[in-house]
Amino acid sequence: MTISVGEKMPSGTLMTMGENGPEPVSTDEFFGGKKVVLFGLPGAFTPTCSAQHVPSYVENHTALAAKGVDAVGCMSVNDAFVMGAWGKDQQVGNKVTMLADGSAAYTKALGLELDLTERGMGVRCTRFALVVDDGTVSAVQVEDNPGGIEKSGALAILDII
């Protein structure tokens, strides 16, 4: 079942690429005490994800911060090495934290998995965005069209916060 408005984000561990290699990120710490936008997408270096989804958050970082967003996370079912390389390629800097959910455990805990096994990609994130206030979900945006960012791109999130 997909996480809903009013629910607490589940506790878990994601990974990010640090200066010395992969580092764990506690979701309790990442979401606690601040307003966070978490967006998820099917895969690093894929067309819509690279050309539209991530850039929408990088380009609108200042506008999101002006509306009280303290942090933005990009989650994908990839490893920390891939997410780190993709973050460099996308020039996210400190605007977006690239979060790896290598085994899709957190994606499944959110109920936001997408089975792309028939396409050779296994279980991935569906395309979504969540607004989280101090660990509690205040908005859930899941794309009807997995190739679009009408609901989960930064402009859509700016309209609802």
Euclidean distance between CA atoms 57 and 11, whole angstroms: 24
Helix (H, G, I), strand (E, B) or coil at 58: helix
Answer whether 128's CB lies under 8 Å from 142's CB: yes
Answer whether 140's CB lies under 8 Å from 3's CB: yes
Q: Are strands 97-100 and 71-76 parallel, antiparallel or unpaired?
A: parallel
Residue 49 annotated as catalytic? yes
Q: Which of 49, 75, 98, 112 is catalytic?
A: 49
Q: Where in the sequence numbering do the catalytic residues fall?
A: 49
